[in-house]
Structure 1
Amino acid sequence: MTEVTNEARVPLTIRLCGPRGFCAGVDRAIQIVVLALKKYGAPVYVRHEIVHNRYVVEGLEAKGAVFVEELHEIPEEHRGQPVIFSAHGVPKSVPADAQARNLFYLDATCPLVSKVHKQAMRHERQGRHVLLIGHAGHPEVIGTMGQLPEDAVSLIETVEDARAYEAADPDNLGFVTQTTLSVDDTAGVIAALTERFPNLKAPAAESICYATTNRQDAVKAAAPGTDLFLVVGAPNSSNSKRLVEVAVRAGAQHALLVQRADEIDWDHLGPLKTVALSAGASAPETIVSEIIEAFRQRFDVTVELAETVQEDETFLVNRELRDTELTVADMAFVNGEALAIGAR
């Protein structure tokens, strides 16, 4: 679709969700990589994507981060350099492997994911079999299950799984959840489990993180009456995909997950009067701005903020990095305002 002149542009309202984008756990994880590069120099190795956004990953690679899937990929000559574990968390076997290889590691696991690890271990210590509600294969689920012996935890993905699960000891079960699930879907799974296992023990505190809940609440508020709901996020981002599902259930006529403005099929959007826009917890604000600007080139845009709550949570970085300061430019990068991400 070619850019249209001012005279031809039709009015369009964009409901911009708040909160959106980076959460405190993502912000902390990116800070850890940037601080490690400043303190120890390049290369700094990162096991798995630090967060699920390839533009964040590319920006960090440009600064000297090297992403690997397994520790054995780190060259022998660089084993004195730090290796960072991603925000999603890792099984206990990973730090044990790092120690066996004499690697210096920094754990960037989100503190709210670490809280779920502790909740699961507490259930297990108290003699309960742990039911983990989550998505098979997601790094966070792999990390949480990896905190426990293999026979101490079972994965429940759906209401159907909950109804089919056979417990060896139905009176000694406890559950935890992945932090990035749909609040409504998870409630259904928990209800199905509780119906079958009345003595099922909940974790001491909510497992789904505040940022996931807040972003879903903002989407629910913004979605009714919208012709299109766009969620900025990566296809492997669990919390971003859940936002698309929530938008449709909350009344959006159509919802899409996009990584950049150039992924929008402008010629086939149909008539638009109201578009809502949000971003998953690992999506940088610079891409939100890019998409708004792309709409401005095609429509007479009015932006309305659809804010449900303000977030002010922060998490401290690792003790080893607290003596290193970030510059203003570093903070713009960390906050997702100035990532080194060129157009494809």
Structure 2
Amino acid sequence: MSQAPDPTLPASGGALPALTVKLCAPRGFCAGVDRAIQIVELALEKYGRPVYVRHEIVHNRFVVDGLKAKGAVFVEELDEIPDADRGRPVIFSAHGVPKAVPEDARLRNMFYLDATCPLVSKVHKEAEIHFRRDREILLIGHAGHPEVIGTMGQLPAGSVTLIETEADARAYRPKSGRQLAFITQTTLSVDDTRSIVDVLKQRFPDIVAPHKEDICYATTNRQEAVKAVAPSVDAMIVVGAPNSSNSQRLREVAERAGCPKAVLLQRAAEIDWTDFDGIGSLGLTAGASAPETLVEEIIAAFAHRFDVTVETVRTADETIAFNLPRELRGTADAPGAAAAE
């Protein structure tokens, strides 16, 4: 029995409409994500399967499924690991974890590897310094995000107040006469965060800011590339997961930069072709946890329906890399350390 033709495909024999795909660069994996994935892969190589991972190592289903196929087992909490496997390695995700998690692992006599991005660890250290100096700490971020949970969990409950919006910044009332300080989630919108910080600095001129901006280089670079492309295309696709903060911010940045249609997709199979009727140009980027193969998959899908020309729009070069945990450095050549101070 012959299969019915796909009504979204052009009629056979007709010329394909021209489409210019403007490919944002940088895009995709950042150094912290690359390091986290490498930690899982090298742990499997060194210790064999299974290796347990607490929470998604990065927010991308394609990456997680690929690591599952190699022998990684993902859990949300340590008590999900069977007693018989307590001696197996457990890895903490790139987003970071509250201090209570490694302490719990030690109490259970578990061997763990920490894949927290060094730029997230930098924010953790800032929080601890502010706490030691008896400052009242504000964290700019999104409630419920694993990175925010991990950062707030570095200190005793109630030590950090979450600020999500400009309205929160305007409404905030200091709890004491102590000096204020702020830190931020690493994957926020640069422009939104600047607006929130401006409100805080206007209200509290003596508030202590990070020595170096907490929003990571990769988040900033990917947003700048989107800003360069978005005003000149008919639509924009951000490849990334719905629970990926940096990917969601890229979609928002594209819309604010003037792109008429910006969508977040995990895979080519999610494309709603009615969103792209009549377009002549398409912007394409990927969040920091999305592999390049998914970008290529999107381009291939469009090439079935359009005569595609790909142009790369590069706004920055990235050479940063981070050291692996000491336990894995003999397993493979470790990348050079370039973590921000």
Measured against the shorter chain, the TM-score band is: over 0.9
Structure 2: segments with no counterpart, 5+ residues? 1-7, 336-341
Superposition deviation, residue 171 in structure 1 = 5.4
Corresponding position: 1:44 with 2:18: no
Aligned partner of 2:152 among 129, 145, 153: 145
1:266 maps to 273
2:246 maps to 239
Of 267-276 and 125-134, deviating more is 267-276
1:338 maps to none
Change (3 A) 1:66 1:312: same
C-alpha RMSD of matched pairs (Å): 1.3
Aligned partner of 1:23 among 11, 30, 33: 30
Superposition deviation, residue 314 in structure 1 = 0.7
1: CA distance, partners of 2:11 / 2:140: 48
Kindly provide the amino acid, as one letter, of the partner of residue 149 in structure 1.
P
Query: How many residues in Structure 1 have an aligned counterpart in Structure 2?
Result: 327
1:14 maps to 21
Aligned partner of 1:112 among 94, 98, 119: 119
2:212 maps to 205
Kindly provide the amino acid, as one letter, of the partner of residue 103 in structure 2.
A
Of 116-125 and 12-21, deviating more is 116-125
2:183 maps to 176
User: What TM-score comes out, normalization by structure 2 length?
Assistant: 0.94
Superposition deviation, residue 148 in structure 1 = 1.0
Superposition deviation, residue 170 in structure 1 = 5.4
Corresponding position: 1:288 with 2:295: yes
Corresponding position: 1:278 with 2:285: yes
User: What TM-score comes out, normalization by structure 1 length?
Assistant: 0.93
Of 171-180 and 42-51, deviating more is 171-180
Superposition deviation, residue 7 in structure 1 = 4.1
Aligned partner of 1:313 among 314, 320, 327: 320
1:304 maps to 311
Of 162-171 and 27-36, deviating more is 162-171
Superposition deviation, residue 196 in structure 1 = 1.2
Kindly provide the amino acid, as one letter, of the partner of residue 281 in structure 1.
A
Superposition deviation, residue 5 in structure 1 = 4.5
The secondary structure found in structure 2 opposite 1:102 is: coil
1: CA distance, partners of 2:268 / 2:170: 42
1: CA distance, partners of 2:22 / 2:15: 22
1:249 maps to 256
| Residue pair 2:17, 2:306 contacting (<8 A) in 1 also | yes
2: CA distance, partners of 1:76 / 1:86: 21
Kindly provide the amino acid, as one letter, of the partner of residue 155 in structure 2.
L
Kindly provide the amino acid, as one letter, of the partner of residue 271 in structure 2.
I
After superposition, give the CA deviation of every residue in 1:257-315 in whole Å (9 maximum; x if it has no partner): 00011101113422101100000000010000000011111001110101101111111
2: CA distance, partners of 1:212 / 1:128: 28
Kindly provide the amino acid, as one letter, of the partner of residue 136 in structure 1.
A
Of 144-153 and 234-243, deviating more is 144-153
| Residue pair 2:10, 2:16 contacting (<8 A) in 1 also | no
2:338 maps to none
1: CA distance, partners of 2:319 / 2:308: 29
Corresponding position: 1:62 with 2:69: yes
Question: What pairs up with 1:186-205 in 2 under 5 angstroms?
Answer: 186-205=193-212
Change (3 A) 1:5 1:302: farther
The secondary structure found in structure 1 opposite 2:104 is: helix
1: CA distance, partners of 2:288 / 2:155: 27
After superposition, give the CA deviation of every residue in 1:319-338 in whole Å (9 maximum; x if it has no partner): 10011138xxxx9xxxxxxx
| Residue pair 1:4, 1:297 contacting (<8 A) in 2 also | no
Kindly provide the amino acid, as one letter, of the partner of residue 283 in structure 1.
A
Superposition deviation, residue 248 in structure 1 = 0.7
Superposition deviation, residue 3 in structure 1 = 5.1
Aligned partner of 1:217 among 203, 224, 228: 224
1: CA distance, partners of 2:312 / 2:28: 14
Identity %: 65
The secondary structure found in structure 1 opposite 2:260 is: coil
